[in-house]
Amino acid sequence: MKTSTDFIVCRCEEVTYQSIVETIKKYKCSSRELKLRTRAGMGFCGGRTCRYFIDRIVADYGENAVTHNMPLKYQAPVRPVTFGLLGDLK
What per-residue confidence (pLDDT) applies to 86?
77
Query: Quick check: 32 and 40 in contact, CB under 8 A?
Result: no
Domain boundaries, the chain: 8-86
DSSP-assigned letter for residue 42 = -
What per-residue confidence (pLDDT) applies to 75?
60
Tens digit of pLDDT for each residue in 31-85? 889 999 999 988 888 888 898 899 899 989 877 555 555 556 666 656 677 788 7
Q: Closest Cα partner for 44 from 85, 75, 20?
A: 75
What per-residue confidence (pLDDT) applies to 1?
42
pTM > 0.85? no
What per-residue confidence (pLDDT) applies to 9?
93
CA dist 4 to 43, 52, 58, Å? 23, 19, 18
Question: CB burial class (10 A; 0-12, 13-18, 19+) of residue 64?
Answer: middle
